[in-house]
Structure 1
Amino acid sequence: MPGIDPQAPVSTLKGIGPAALLRLGNLGIARVQDLLFHLPLRYQDRRRILPIGSLQPEQEVAVRGQIELAEVVPGKRNMLVVRISDNTGFLSLRFFHFHPGLKAQLRRGLAIWCFGEVRRAFNGLEMIHPEWQVAASPIALNTPTHLTPFYPATEGLNQAQLRRWIGEALDNLSALPDLLPEPLRQGLPDLHTALRTIHQPQGEPPDPFHPAHRRLAFEELLAHRLALQLLRSRRVIEEAPVLAGAGRLWEDLLAQLPFQPTGAQQRVIAEIRADMARATPMQRLLQGDVGAGKTLVAVAASLYAIEAGYQVALMAPTEILAEQHRESFARWLAPLGIDSGWLAQKQGSAERRETLARLASGEIRMVVGTHALFQEEVRFQRLGLVIIDEQHRFGVDQRMQLRGKGENPHLLVMTATPIPRTLAMTLHADLDLSVLDELPPGRSPIDSVVISDQRREEVIERVRHAVLTGRQVYWVCPLIDESEALQLQAAEQSYVELSEALPELRVGLVHGRLKGAEKSAVMEAFKAGEIQLLVATTVIEVGVDVPNASLMIIENAERLGLSQLHQLRGRVGRGSAKSACVLMYHPPLSQKGRDRLAIMRESQDGFVIARKDLELRGPGEFLGVRQTGLANLRIADLSRDEDLLDQVAESAAALRQTSPALCHALVDRWLAGRLDYGDIA
């Protein structure tokens, strides 16, 4: 079907009705060109024809012969049996499901090509429901000339349909423009060559390191980087409030602090202050390891905004983390006469109405909240700064929603999941990057011990000893309910067992299914020292600060990602006492689990750990699907293709300078319809 526009909807192709259109949409295919970027998962070699006489059971092969007979064999369920031969032997083809016209199609004397798995039958060898085609002569058979691709599919779509539609798109490949100028390719093939090589390989199957794959990965990464930069450029031309002041509030707070900010904190605060003093919106990402002091930097930024007469909103992904920030900000801002508040789902209606009214009037200068800050009824008098903590839990579009609450407020996003700088600059090309690479003095190293859960009794004794010496302990379990399939100790079961084993201790339990008020009550009791041993799920991963807690036990540690283990471990070591983390695993330990726990034992550097986590788990699982669109890359892989990122950055800069139209075309090709980037066009 020549003359099809690659931009046309896939419904243009024959055989794609409403049902197929919906199913293709589930695969991310809406336009004809989307079919071309839907790449095979694997290939079969159907080009080589084997003599029938050489076949062996369990082979998956292609054969060619002549139909000797075709007959319907009666029984409980009729079946069609076709007997074929070449000059070396005979083979039966058996069809249990067939329409009446099939027997007429497979008539005696026709040449046949078929592909399937060879099985042993009572009267020789056979294939069950093979793929086939017939012709008047062997010469007229249209047998494969390239490897046969197998594509990601969905219920209701089969490989034959996908191959046919992708084949039609390939027939119109000349209409698809190559958007990557030759000088930027760095020796990679042109687009048409790359697509034909991947969909119709003539030689060996192209793996992800093949130049054809690399060509498409490069273009996809380039499109994502351009999308984020175009978002940023739209923000840069907007006018933001100028938050410039003498910094008296920050100086007043510094005078009250019992410590001096680190050099890294001072450097980052200066970067933020310079950004907010300009009339263009700040867009800055703050990366810092566990305990590096990101909260103090956020407080400093807030004080500069408040001094300039504006309000500040800080959003956190969980109520526990939001409440932790609420307490920290209240503790630091109240002595300066600054009123702060918070918004969360668990608030009563009267308290919520009062907070909303005080926010709208400007009486509350600083508000902390969860997703509740997105809601339509939340209005600010003069929002000047938005801070988002643990930003990998939120998407680009959610950042935009919260910004929409003010007149182009400045934006500071923070994360304690450090990632390599090259990756950070690609993932967050719409943001400037600041790194807290220095821990405050007094943070002592945490001893990490890897131990089998067969030594559980020894660990319990260690918990008893720690509490009797005046310390508090976390006991972390990955699941709430018991799961025999995964052999994970559930938090509720551990709570019962530990309460019985340690009757002299005050034991508490916190997990994600508790109501907000119940969760808060348990955490408050733990902070106050009323609970000595806290059994918890990973809900305490971030935001919990109890300096007296010096021991953490993590059950089934081999099941958790490195960055999550590092976050959990960071809940101890916050006081003056020597702290330890016991990583308890359930044997036998896989090689991957062994490697993961060895890294935790050997390193406390969040950047080293994040790098290893990325290598072990891959970008999708490591980054989380909502961090940015890059977590859902179709072709590229951030860990595998990281060496392309410097070239991607250079090419993006060159294209933006010389070919703005190409930039938009690349973004449209790879990201059309994606919510995160809906503001670009």
Structure 2
Amino acid sequence: MPASSAPLYLQSSVSALRGVGPALVQRLQRMDIWRVQDVLFHLPSRYQDRRHLLPIGTLLPEQEAAVLGEITQVEHLRGRRDQWLVTLSDGTGQLYIRLFHMLAPMRAQWQEGRRLWCFGETRAGYQGLEMVHPEWQMADQPQFEAPTHLTPFYPSTQGITQAQWRRWVAQALTLVDQLPDYLAKYLGPAWPPLGEGLRLLHESAEEVPTPAHPAWQRLALEELLANHLAIRSARTAGDETGAPVIKASGSLWTAFLKQLPFALTAAQQRVIAEINQNMAQARPMRRLLQGDVGSGKTLVAAAAALTAVEQNYQVALMAPTEILAEQLYDRFVEWLTPLGIQVGFLVGGLGQKARREVLENLHNQRIQIVVGTQALFQDEVKFAGLGLVIIDEQHRFGVDQRRQLLEKGTIPHLLVMTATPIPRTLAMTVHADLDLSIIDALPPGRSPVETLVVADTRRAELMTRMQHRLAEGDQIYWVCPLIEESEILALQAAETSYADLQAALPEVPIALVHGRLPAAEKARVMADFKAGKTRILVATTVIEVGVDVPNASLMVIEHAERMGLAQLHQLRGRVGRGQRQSSCILLYHPPLGGKARARLQVMRDSRDGFVIARKDLELRGPGEYLGTRQTGLLQMRVADMMRDEALLAELPRLATQLLHENPEAVQALIQRWLGNRLDYSQVG
């Protein structure tokens, strides 16, 4: 343990704090607290007010209180478990202190006639009101100090007490005035200085500081800015190396448009222009394309791919599942083969011979566009000239996977697409390394999908509705969250539903598809459904994205209460793709919990993916919504992206000012808040 006279610095290891030995160092590091400075930014999660003494005679049961009185009796109660009963009096009444262990040094202090301060929760005992093992100090000692500020309680871990946290914070606070305040120059007078805010949050002498308090908001702003700068700095580093300048004449795109049976929306045209402008520069495009289910993102991806192919570059299009990859592959083959473009397909389930052929054709550039899954970024996949990477449903991929695929080309352009919208202000923060495009209009002719929330006790009515739909020539999806029966979750599994529907509708062709089917079998089942040979498709959520069957007009989602809003919205988007009036039935098993009820209510009330995304954020929080491990988003220490959304608008201005005027402060802020987690910023 370091000597108490050892100098202490903000950047010192936590081992420099008095009372922190090797075992505690490890515990603190597991909480991502490495330096003395980190202790300052470890804020209380709650406070107690121990400043005001209450007369003992006024106390009530189950009341937290600070009292000061004289010890009038100390009684040792012997039995199966020794205990001590101490009587405390202040002239207004008596309080009993019950202690179940009292070491010899403590027994030497707890003597009749001594003055005692203690804080705890009262309870009704045999003799009267009592406190069990309260916090205490002998009040007749010169070193006694009654609390003058709120008592903080810190997030902790096993083996670290609140008393230890308070001692360590007190040591760190002696250095708070040495903490550089990088934002003071750029913030108005309403914002407290950094050191003043930290001292208030640790030692508030007045009100309980809530997250709306200016001191808390000041720290939240700085933390959000540090995360924003980390991602933005990674983007800047990537911009230093040149990307292929892809400035196509548009002849392939013109030929492609002539064969389309429909016109592009204005939103699609705007986004395509943004992408073309990016790819015509030596700076690598890093663009996030958000569009609601059915908004035509795949067509935009095809436009970007044609621009790259026209300039003799290859394109890699990565999807999260084999079913989605196959759907995209089929669509690209249908669209682009007439233009003389060779499209390849590469997934994990591909046979060895077919795989070798694809790899060889990629290497010699006989394949210009390859569609696949994570198999695309395996080491043996070599491109002759990769110029564009397109990632569909990007939130399903980790940043490491994204980086691996980008490394397949010199510096390829990157387009990531998602139908899980993120509010613009949040996207500007989480994806500060990406420019943002939004397709905010659906193609004409898409009829709104009616959404019904139905208890699973009404299956008979549902069967009648399904028979009417089938009689009119429509097709039906029936989606379940599990493949097999689970005794633990007791959910209706896809296999059980498949058997039940076959029994209820014996004359109707019904098929089952799920993630464990071999790729060839999945492809056959999906092809039969698309061709109308199968009337009802029972599926797990593998059909969440990518499937396009215009004749399917009814979607039934079993145990909808167990699914997230984004997933429910994606599934609902599988219907309503033709001219038929479509419906989505959210089947739930009562009773519904509060959050489940709220989710289903949102689905019933709204068809706007951006509205639904916002509600999803409110219900789940950004970490869960964005997928912390997948996006690299760290859990914030102070900030909350939904609660502190108003602060997000400040980030681009502050970041730009710091990058231009004080780049050293940028790295210092990133180090202050991210510390040993700097890999977060390396997002490709």
Common fold, TM-score beyond 0.5? Answer: yes
Structure 2 alignment gaps of length 5 or more: none
Q: Which of 21, 25, 29 is equivalent to 2:29?
A: 25
3-state SS in 1 of match to 2:350: coil
Q: Is the 8 A contact 2:315 2:386 kept in 1?
A: yes
Change (3 A) 1:62 1:504: farther
Q: Which of 197, 212, 216 is equivalent to 2:215?
A: 212
Counterpart-to-counterpart distance in 1, 2:500 and 2:683: 55
Q: Which of 39, 46, 50 is equivalent to 2:43?
A: 39
Aligned to 1:193: 196
Change (3 A) 1:401 1:661: same
Counterpart-to-counterpart distance in 2, 1:263 and 1:305: 22
Q: Which amino acid aligns with 1:282?
A: M
Query: What do residues 223-251 of structure 1 show as CA deviations (whole Å, max 9, x unaligned)?
Result: 22222222222222211111223233223
Aligned to 1:53: 57
Counterpart-to-counterpart distance in 2, 1:15 and 1:481: 54
Change (3 A) 1:158 1:521: farther
Aligned to 2:267: 264
Change (3 A) 1:351 1:116: farther
Q: Is the 8 A contact 1:147 1:205 kept in 2?
A: yes
Counterpart-to-counterpart distance in 1, 2:482 and 2:18: 49
Match runs of 1:558-569 below 5 Å: 558-569=561-572
Change (3 A) 1:388 1:18: farther
Q: Is the 8 A contact 1:474 1:553 kept in 2?
A: yes
Are 1:169 and 2:145 counterparts? no
TM-superposed CA distance for 1:551, in Å, is: 0.4
Match runs of 1:415-454 below 5 Å: 415-454=418-457
Q: Which amino acid aligns with 1:603?
A: S
Aligned to 2:234: 231
Counterpart-to-counterpart distance in 2, 1:375 and 1:361: 17
Change (3 A) 1:357 1:79: farther
Counterpart-to-counterpart distance in 1, 2:665 and 2:479: 51
Aligned to 1:273: 276
TM-superposed CA distance for 1:135, in Å, is: 5.0
Change (3 A) 1:13 1:447: same
TM-superposed CA distance for 1:214, in Å, is: 1.0
Counterpart-to-counterpart distance in 2, 1:634 and 1:321: 37
Q: Which amino acid aligns with 2:428?
A: M
Counterpart-to-counterpart distance in 1, 2:518 and 2:157: 38
Q: Is the 8 A contact 1:510 1:535 kept in 2?
A: yes
Change (3 A) 1:105 1:334: farther
TM-superposed CA distance for 1:413, in Å, is: 0.9
Q: Identify which range, 31-40 or 480-489, moves more after superposition.
A: 480-489
Aligned to 1:388: 391
Q: Which of 486, 497, 509 is equivalent to 2:512?
A: 509
Q: Which of 457, 460, 465 is equivalent to 1:457?
A: 460
Identity rate of aligned residues, in percent? 59
Aligned to 1:491: 494
Aligned to 1:292: 295
Match runs of 1:103-142 below 5 Å: 103-134=107-138, 136-137=140-141, 140-142=143-145
Give TM-score scaled by structure 1 length.
Answer: 0.92
3-state SS in 2 of match to 1:509: strand
Q: Which amino acid aligns with 2:91?
A: N
Change (3 A) 1:213 1:328: same
3-state SS in 2 of match to 1:253: helix
Aligned to 2:324: 321
TM-superposed CA distance for 1:269, in Å, is: 1.5
Are 1:160 and 2:154 counterparts? no
TM-superposed CA distance for 1:294, in Å, is: 0.6
Q: Is the 8 A contact 1:507 1:532 kept in 2?
A: yes
Q: Is the 8 A contact 2:390 2:416 kept in 1?
A: yes
Aligned to 1:9: 13
Query: What do residues 159-184 of structure 1 show as CA deviations (whole Å, max 9, x unaligned)?
Result: 23333322322222122211212432
Change (3 A) 1:348 1:60: farther
Query: What do residues 195-244 of structure 1 show as CA deviations (whole Å, max 9, x unaligned)?
Result: 12222221221111111111111111222222222222222221111122
Q: Is the 8 A contact 2:363 2:384 kept in 1?
A: yes
3-state SS in 2 of match to 1:104: helix
Counterpart-to-counterpart distance in 1, 2:380 and 2:166: 50
Counterpart-to-counterpart distance in 2, 1:480 and 1:129: 53
Q: CA RMSD in A?
A: 2.8
3-state SS in 2 of match to 1:88: coil
Counterpart-to-counterpart distance in 2, 1:370 and 1:158: 48
3-state SS in 2 of match to 1:673: helix
Counterpart-to-counterpart distance in 2, 1:240 and 1:144: 62
Query: What do residues 69-110 of structure 1 show as CA deviations (whole Å, max 9, x unaligned)?
Result: 545533223334444333333333333355454423434444
Q: Which of 88, 91, 101 is equivalent to 1:87?
A: 91
TM-superposed CA distance for 1:655, in Å, is: 1.8
Are 1:180 and 2:183 counterparts? yes
Change (3 A) 1:33 1:535: farther
Q: Is the 8 A contact 1:325 1:368 kept in 2?
A: yes
TM-superposed CA distance for 1:511, in Å, is: 4.0
Counterpart-to-counterpart distance in 2, 1:551 and 1:331: 26
Q: Is the 8 A contact 1:397 1:677 kept in 2?
A: no
Q: Is the 8 A contact 2:558 2:588 kept in 1?
A: yes
Q: Is the 8 A contact 2:71 2:111 kept in 1?
A: yes
TM-superposed CA distance for 1:388, in Å, is: 1.2
TM-superposed CA distance for 1:593, in Å, is: 4.7
Are 1:467 and 2:470 counterparts? yes
Counterpart-to-counterpart distance in 2, 1:614 and 1:463: 34
Q: Identify which range, 457-466 or 52-61, moves more after superposition.
A: 52-61
Q: Which amino acid aligns with 1:76?
A: R
Q: Which amino acid aligns with 1:89?
A: G
Q: Identify which range, 482-491 or 577-586, moves more after superposition.
A: 482-491
Q: Which of 73, 79, 94 is equivalent to 1:75?
A: 79
Q: Which of 67, 70, 89 is equivalent to 1:66?
A: 70
TM-superposed CA distance for 1:127, in Å, is: 2.0
3-state SS in 2 of match to 1:194: helix
Change (3 A) 1:142 1:371: farther
TM-superposed CA distance for 1:568, in Å, is: 1.3
Query: What do residues 48-89 of structure 1 show as CA deviations (whole Å, max 9, x unaligned)?
Result: 222223322222222223334545533223334444333333
Aligned to 1:147: 150
Q: Is the 8 A contact 1:391 1:627 kept in 2?
A: no
Aligned to 1:96: 100
Counterpart-to-counterpart distance in 1, 2:499 and 2:273: 50
TM-superposed CA distance for 1:603, in Å, is: 2.9
Q: Is the 8 A contact 2:233 2:681 kept in 1?
A: no
Change (3 A) 1:36 1:490: farther
TM-superposed CA distance for 1:512, in Å, is: 4.6
Aligned to 2:550: 547
Aligned to 2:378: 375
Structure 1 alignment gaps of length 5 or more: none
Query: What do residues 366-409 of structure 1 show as CA deviations (whole Å, max 9, x unaligned)?
Result: 22232333333333222111111111223444433321222111
Q: Is the 8 A contact 1:113 1:141 kept in 2?
A: no
3-state SS in 2 of match to 1:161: helix
